């Protein structure tokens, strides 16, 4: 019952078991819930998504490069998951969403786009980037907030 209903707590499970005719205390249920096997399906789905269609996934991200004058340059890159090959990169001082859209157009010319494009929750992307990704016939896959492991190829 715990594995099938992950949002239920001990009081709810206790009530359900009482209605089914099982006499067990709520404290016993809460102790057993700590040792109950968890359903690993959400993590398995994400790992399977990253592992299975490797040639159909590309990822984007930024990294910064400090200069001798103590300013920052932002390097945008697109990497292929299949062979971990850099498909495109460019550097700017002030990245905007329009600049990123142009970089995506340059990275995927003539219908050469993969099926999925991974990117994080950076404010630089704005609303224009997901729209541009969809216009290139790719599916937007945005990682969860503060989860760099979901885009591990680009984060490394």
The pLDDT tens digits along the chain (156 residues) read 777 777 788 898 899 899 989 899 999 988 888 877 666 666 566 666 666 676 788 899 999 999 999 999 999 999 988 888 899 999 999 999 999 999 999 998 877 788 888 888 888 888 899 999 999 889 888 887 877 777 777 776
Name 94's Cβ contacts closer than 8 Å, sequence gap at least 6.
Answer: 74
Q: What is the pLDDT of residue 9?
A: 85
Distance CA 154, CA 31 (A): 41
Distance CA 129, CA 10 (A): 44
DSSP 112: -
Task: State the pTM of this model.
Answer: 0.64
Q: What is the pLDDT of residue 38?
A: 66
Half-sphere CA count of 70, side-chain side, radius 13 A: 0
SS3 sequence of 21-82: CCCCCHHHHHHHHHHCCCCCHHHHHHHHHHHCCHHHEEEEEEEEEECCCCCEEEEEEEEECC
Distance CA 121, CA 130 (A): 11
Q: What is the pLDDT of residue 46?
A: 66
Pair 71, 143: CB distance under 8 Å = no
Domains (ranges, CATH) in the chain? 1-39 (no CATH), 47-155 (3.30.420.10)
Count of C-beta atoms within a 10 Å radius of residue 66: 9
Distance CA 142, CA 42 (A): 16
Q: What is the pLDDT of residue 82?
A: 81
Q: What is the pLDDT of residue 148?
A: 75
Q: What is the pLDDT of residue 111?
A: 77
Q: What is the pLDDT of residue 50?
A: 66
């Amino acid at each position: 019952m715990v594995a099938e209903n992950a949002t239920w707590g001990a009081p709810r499970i206790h009530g359900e078991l009482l209605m089914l005719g099982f006499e067990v205390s709520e404290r016993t249920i809460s102790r057993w819930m700590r040792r109950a096997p968890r359903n690993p399906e959400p993590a398995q789905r994400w790992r399977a998504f990253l592992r299975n269609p490797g040639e159909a996934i590309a990822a984007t991200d930024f990294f910064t490069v400090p200069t001798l004058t103590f300013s920052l340059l932002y390097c945008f890159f697109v990497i292929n998951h299949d062979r971990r090959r850099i498909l495109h990169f460019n550097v700017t001082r002030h990245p905007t969403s329009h600049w990123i859209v142009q970089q995506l157009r340059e990275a995927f010319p003539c219908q050469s786009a993969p099926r999925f494009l991974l990117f994080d929750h950076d404010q630089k992307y704005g609303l224009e980037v997901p729209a541009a990704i969809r216009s290139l016939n790719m599916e937007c896959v945005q990682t969860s907030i503060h989860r760099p492991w979901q885009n591990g190829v680009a984060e490394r």
